Amino acid sequence: MRSARHRETGFTLIELLVVVAIIGSLAAIAIPQFASQKGKGYDARVMQDARNAATGEEAYFSDTLTYFTGNCAAMPGVVLSPGMTCTATGAPSSFTITTSHPQATKTCTWSSNTSPNLSCS
């Protein structure tokens, strides 16, 4: 009578290599997409902070009858996103807001005397 061999169960090396290759392929696709979406999020922040600062400029003008000039963070009622750079330039009858972020791909400018008011590049 023959003795039955005890066979170990588990994954073969080939099966493990195939799984690792599939995971690597998925990661190669997903990571650049994630980085792209993150950049779009920063771009949206830049645009929204320009709009918020423009609203703050109009509120400042209604209180003082002059437009604010300087760092937007110093403007009453304006709260910027973390890391945002915002500069306001006021003139007697108009203003310009420029916003940017180091991780954004766009810089936005809000000009009160042009239409459309917001332009990003």
Q: Write the secondary structure of the chain as one string of H (helix), E (strand) and C (coil).
A: CCCCCCCCCCCCHHHHHHHHHHHHHHHHHHHHHHHHHHHHHHHHHHHHHHHHHHHHHHHHHHHHCCCCCEEHHHCCCCCCCCCCEEEEEECCCCEEEEEECCCCCCCEEEECCCCCCEEEC
pLDDT of residue 51: 96
How many structural domains are present in the chain? 1
Residue 65 lies in a domain: yes
Mean pLDDT score, 98-104: 97
Q: Is residue 11 part of a domain?
A: no
pTM of the model: 0.75
Q: Which domain holds residue 43?
A: 17-120
Across the range 1-30, mean pLDDT stands at 84
The pLDDT tens digits of the residues spanning 18-66 come to 999 999 999 999 888 888 898 899 999 999 999 999 999 999 999 999 9
* Residue 3 within any structural domain of the chain: no
